[in-house]
Structure 1
Amino acid sequence: MNGTGIGIDPNRTPHPGADHTPSSVIVVGCGPTGLLLAGDLAAAGVPVTLVEKRPHRISNLSRAIVVHARTLELLDARALAEEAESLGRRLDRMNLFTRLTVEFDTLPSRFNHLLILPQYEMERILERRAIEAGVRFRYETEVTGVGQDEDGVTVETRGPGGASETLRAQYVVGTDGMRSTVRNAVGLPFPGRSVIRSVLLADVRLAEPPKDVLSVHARGDAFVFFADFGDGYYRVVAWNRRRDIPESEPLHLEEVRETVRLAAGHDFGMHDARWLSRFHSDERQAPAYRVGRVFLAGDAAHVHTPAGGQGMNIGMQDAANLGWKLAAVLQGRADDALLDTYQTERHPVGTEAMRSSGAIVRLAMANHPWERGLRAVVATTLNILTSARRKLALQIAGVGVKYGAPAGAHRLTGSRVADVALEGGRLYEALRGGRFVLITPEEYADKTGLEDRLAVERRTGRGHDTRTTVLVRPDGYVAWAADSPSRSDIEEAVARHLGQSMAPVG
């Protein structure tokens, strides 16, 4: 898809920075999902307030540690990937159950690896961007009620010292986690169940670390997951079927050592724990991600087991999908119906993540001899079948996601677009700032007459003979495509997706 890249800049409104303006958005929850979404909206010129009940503090301890290829692509489209890569540790493969290796170095992505990066580092990067974009932060502010009408949403809050305040916006997005106040306020259920209880988390040093940066071991009634932070510490996630202990019970390093010995045969010389915690893992998903003017994203919409490290990634991908759509509707460039596509596109992704991560955990939790035998067979078979192993890698990394397309649409519609070379740069550089990008073949572009009217930056690819023209959405998916389209075809597609009328070419 090399060709000419035309960055199409929407008509952006100024950022008045007021909570009660009619075109504003309130985001509830200051994790990676909320920070990415708020930053996207503010960068697009939408007034946005981010409400967080915790004090302004980014912990140096967190559960999420893996950043996948698709998330790195989204960071690249925001000029943040290079910084994230410099702070993390790259890994081109992951071992599961000793016999199965999932390879990421063959992914069709500029980021053909996963990145070991603690969530707190991701939050620092995203928070700085959000501040620079003009997001208004309200820390130590708890949401106590949400009500909506035809004109907007009213959010009741309790701030520092117990002071009550009412905020008003046109839309509200709950990114406030598994126990989401926003989700409860709009009456959405969160069906599902606990899959695994009394999981142990520890960040420790190892005298005899495993040879792999990321690895999983399972034996008998226990399993353990290791991840190397690269700073001398390792994240350990361990579980023993026979120790079902409440999360409130204190955790000591010796219990972690014992569980690791059961799962891997030895404890790798574990010492100097800087964090110890218990948690349980659920599989739950809200039936709807939208109720009128209220949306859910990230863990407020779906939770699943940590296997594969997909949780933080899918939440950030939710935000990238929703942000540009909210901006388009608020700025009058799209009908409100565009917001319904958030549900149709992202809900199936959450469902699939529950299935894939759940399958990995259930294999790790295998109890009976026949189940363990099945696990060995599955792992060995996948290791032999390159196509199946590649499909698993694509799913975990997020680059295999394709959205549905209307009947009769071009085969590329709804597909993720990998980074491609364009004159003067790359596609994901052209996507920075929330633009649609029109890619046309080099020899075809000058015949369209569109450059002078729509170009923010013109880019021409080299050595690619396809005659396919593609309109790429701000989140890197194909909005429209056609083989050898006429000038009027392109004009109509651009006008339809950007809500802009096209003056005739003179």
Structure 2
Amino acid sequence: MSEVIVVGAGPTGLLLAGDLAEAGVAVTVLERRDGSVSNLSRAFGVHARTLEQLEARGLAGRLVGTGAQVQRLRLFGKVEVRLDGLPSRFPYLLVTPQYHVENLLLERARAAGVTFVHGAEVTGLEQDGDGVTVVTSAGRYRAAYLVGADGYRSAVRQAVGQPFPGKSVLKSIMLADVRVTEPPAETLAVNGVGDAFAFVAPFGDGYYRVFVWDRRNIVADDEPLGLDEVRAVTRRALGTDFGMYEARWLSRFHSDERQVPSYRVGRVFLAGDAAHVHSPAGGQGMNTGLQDAANLSWKLAAVLRGAPVDLLDTYQAERHPVGRTVLRTSGALIRLAMIKPAVGRLLRGLVARTALSVPAVRRRFLGRLTGTGFEYPAARGEHPLVGRRIDVPVRDGRFVLLGAADLTGFQDRVVAHAGRDAAGPSLVLVRPDGYVGWAGDDPAELRKALARLAGPAPVAAGEPVAAGGAVAAGGAGAGAGAAGEPVAARGAAVRTVG
């Protein structure tokens, strides 16, 4: 019997399954589709925080090689936002189709030993005190826990009775894959003029993915779509259609804003589009789902090792507010892009330029857009660093300890580094997802934190484990900044941000 069942083999489900398998957890992925990766996926941008998560899994370098790095974004035609100052090793937006992300994650999951069952459509599930039984078109499967990463129409969400409140934001969005005779001057071409919106990005294989929306012609998703209509709306929004020809794909769809009340129902969890969907503005949908998976995977692995089961409650506490914020941010962007009166569009640009010229406002906006500025709530009495993102290389699903302490019994789960910021705590424990899990000066409290977050040590404390090379950590006394701003660290390139 598998320990965890993941329903859905999109990016969220694949990252989660790969993490669990690499941690030694027996995982089965149930997918209603066949085993192929579709090139019709809509996501095209990989943000800095997601690239940090992929780097922790040894995948970022390969993915970066598939796309183009964008260091400047244009909002509403003339408002420029620069990304090259982000407090990240990846100060840019990577433009690459979602199928490149899926291919890398699928390869990793298979290599880690994940079991895949295709043609398995979920028709129901039952859970009890010991596990979850899921009924599918391919048979019945049972595991200790189940994660629904099965998208907007999630069968898992429906099976556990979770509502999906919200509404449609944009109806009759047009999608096309085309060739062009006059490629855009910039990697991303995007603009809204009130009654028309267009987005054009390269696939990398000679085709361009085009999204357009026309306020003047809102029709059903199944209404036929021709290339002439896509050309006309693109010209209105961007001033040119780039000489579009040879469409290999044309379709309509609608965009919703929705979020489930609870990401956890007993032994069942929801992640990615099964838990939240947003407008396409900002390109945050796939990114938010991948970060859901990175948050949940290490917690499931720890509980299966013996960590307290209430660790799983923190998934809801940490990720639901992030989903809500992303929904609001992307919603605000798309509504601003849809402003119709000319005077409104003029004021929009003026207000946006003025606001983004204020450093604190710019940091907050970029932190939310790129995922680098989110913090998680800390329990009462915890050190102020807890819940903050820290820029330290984490790998292989292990924790990182900044400082020197006895790690006997935890060596398989923790990588130790000597060196710290003298102004901060002597010990900082970084979770596998790159957030501070505990900070302080008492080695005995560190061991308690490790047992709570990583599972109990199999042996009693013995000789201190030698720490590795010097790494500095930003501490509370090092100058905590606003969201997305690094905390100064002395000695080495490890930054606490948030």
Q: TM-score if structure 2 supplies the norm length?
A: 0.88
- 2:411 maps to 1:437: no
Find the aligned partners of 1:169 and 1:257 in 2 and give their Cα distance. Answer: 50
Aligned length: 460
The answer on whether the counterparts of 1:403 and 1:415 sit within 8 Å (CA) in structure 2 is yes
1:499 to 451, 455, 471: 455
Structure 2 counterpart of 1:150, which letter?
G
- Helix, strand or coil at the partner of 1:263: helix
**Residues 175-186 of structure 1 mapped to structure 2, 5 A cutoff:** 175-186=149-160
Q: What SS does the aligned partner of 2:24 have?
A: coil
What do you get for the CA RMSD once the two structures are aligned? 1.9
SS in 1 for 2:41: coil
Q: 1:268 maps to which residue?
A: 242
**Secondary structure class of the residue paired with 1:87:** coil
- 1:348-392 CA-to-partner distances (Å, cap 9, x unmatched) read 011001100000100111123443233222232234334322321
Q: What is the distance in 1 between the residues matched to 2:4 and 2:328?
A: 32
Which whole-Å CA distance do the structure 1 matches of 2:447 and 2:37 have between them? 46
| Shift of residue 486, structure 1, vs aligned partner | 3.6
User: 1:454: how far off?
Assistant: 4.5
What SS does structure 2 have at the residue aligned with 1:106? coil
* Partner Cα distance (1:144, 1:451) in 2: 46
Q: Does 1:86 align with 2:86?
A: no
Tell me if the contact between 1:229 and 1:235 (Cα under 8 Å) persists in the aligned partners: yes
Q: Which amino acid aligns with 2:433?
A: D
Q: Is the 8 A contact 1:471 1:480 kept in 2?
A: yes
Change (3 A) 1:492 1:327: closer
Aligned residue identity for 1:183:
R
CA drift of 1:118 comes to 0.7
1:371 maps to 344
In structure 1, the residue corresponding to 2:391 is in which secondary structure? coil
Residue 478, structure 1, aligned to residue 451, structure 2: no
- Aligned twin of 2:100: 121
CA shift, 1:237, in A, is 1.3
- Whether contact under 8 Å (1:89, 1:229) holds in the other structure is no
Q: Distance in 1 between matches of 2:384 and 2:421?
A: 19
Letter in 2 for 1:70: R
- Structure 1 residue 57 and structure 2 residue 36: aligned? yes
* CA distance in 2 between partners of 1:75 and 1:223 (Å): 31
Query: Is 1:322 the equivalent of 2:296?
Result: yes
Is the CA contact (8 Å cut-off) linking 1:471 and 1:481 kept in structure 2? yes
CA drift of 1:192 comes to 0.3
**Amino acid of the structure 2 residue aligned with 1:315:** G
| Structure 2: runs of 5+ lacking an equivalent | 464-498
- Pick 1 or 2: higher relative contact order, CA cutoff 8 A, min separation 6: 1
CA contact (8 A) 2:402 2:429 kept: yes
Q: Secondary structure at the match of 2:73?
A: strand
CA distance 1:487–1:386, change in 2 (3 Å) = closer
> 2: CA distance between counterparts of 1:463 and 1:474?
19
AA aligned to 1:72 is L
Farther-moved stretch of structure 1 (78-87 vs 494-503): 494-503
How many angstroms apart in 2 are the aligned matches of 1:290 and 1:399? Answer: 25
**Any conservation in 1 of the 2:302–2:453 contact (CA below 8 Å)?**
no
1:336 and 2:315 are equivalent in the alignment: no
Q: Secondary structure at the match of 1:262?
A: helix
Deviations 1:307-352 (A, max 9, x none): 01000010010011111111111121x1111111100100001100
- Is the CA contact (8 Å cut-off) linking 2:19 and 2:397 kept in structure 1? yes
Which whole-Å CA distance do the structure 2 matches of 1:96 and 1:147 have between them?
A: 47
1:14 corresponds to: none
Which residue does the alignment assign to 2:10?
31
Distance 1:263 1:250 in 2: 21
Alpha-carbon distance in structure 2 between the residues aligned to 1:415 and 1:386:
20
Contact 1:106–1:112 (CA under 8 A) maintained in structure 2: yes
Q: What SS does the corresponding residue of 2:42 show, helix, strand or coil?
A: coil
Q: For residue 339 of structure 1, give the secondary structure of its aligned residue in structure 2.
A: helix
SS in 1 for 2:439: strand
| SS at structure 2 position matched to 1:210 | coil
SS in 2 for 1:417: strand
| Matching of residues 352-363 of structure 1 within 5 Å | 352-363=325-336
Specify the alignment match of 1:192 in structure 2. Answer: 166
Supply the distance in 2 between the matched residues of 1:489 and 1:336 (Cα, whole angstroms). 19
Q: Distance in 2 between matches of 1:278 and 1:351?
A: 26
Letter in 2 for 1:298: G
Q: Match of 1:225?
A: 199
Tell me: CA distance 1:245–1:435, structure 2 relative to 1, closer, same or farther (3 Å).
same
Say if 2:258 is the partner of 1:300. Answer: no
CA contact (8 A) 1:451 1:458 kept: no
Q: Partner of 1:55: helix, strand, or coil?
A: coil
C-alpha contact (below 8 Å) 1:69/1:397 kept by paired residues: yes
State whether residues 94 and 215 of structure 1, in contact with CA within 8 Å, keep that contact through their aligned partners in structure 2: no
Alpha-carbon distance in structure 2 between the residues aligned to 1:94 and 1:36: 28
Q: Which amino acid aligns with 1:108?
A: P
SS in 1 for 2:125: strand
Q: What secondary structure, in the 3-state scheme, does the structure 1 residue paired with 2:383 have? A: coil
Which of residues 142, 148, 164 in structure 1 aligns to 2:127?
148
Query: Aligned in 2, Cα 1:184/1:492: closer, same or farther, shift over 3 Å?
Result: closer
Shift of 1:220: 4.1
**Residues 35 and 208 from structure 1, CA distance in 2 versus in 1: closer, same or farther, beyond 3 angstroms?**
same
Contact 2:408–2:460 (CA<8 Å) still a contact in 1?
Answer: no
User: Within 5 A, what are the aligned runs for 1:375-390?
Assistant: 375-390=348-363
Instruction: Give TM-score, length-normalised by structure 1.
Output: 0.87
Indicate which of 381, 404, 423 corresponds to 1:408.
Answer: 381
Residues 428-475 of structure 1: CA distance to partner in whole angstroms, max 9, x if unpaired?
A: 3xxx221111111xxxx3xx4x26664468665679645532101111
CA distance in 2, matches of 1:71, 1:106: 17
CA distance in 2, matches of 1:220, 1:464: 51
Q: 127, 133, 136: which one pairs with 2:115?
A: 136
d(CA) in 2 for partners of 1:353 and 1:248?
29
The aligned amino acid for 1:500 is P
**358, 369, 376: which one pairs with 1:396?**
369
Instruction: Name the CA distance, whole Å, in 2 between partners of 1:402 and 1:222.
Output: 36
Of 458-467 and 92-101, the range deviating more from structure 2: 458-467
Partner of 2:491: none
Work out whether residues 103 and 390 of structure 1, in 8 Å CA contact, stay in contact via their aligned partners in 2: no
Q: Kindly, what percent of the aligned residue pairs are identical?
A: 55
Q: Which residue of 1 aligns with 2:485?
A: none
Instruction: Report the Cα distance in structure 1 between the residues aligned to 2:247 and 2:300, rounded to whole angstroms.
Output: 44
Check 1:472–1:376 CA distance in 2 against 1; reply closer, same or farther (3 A cut).
Answer: same
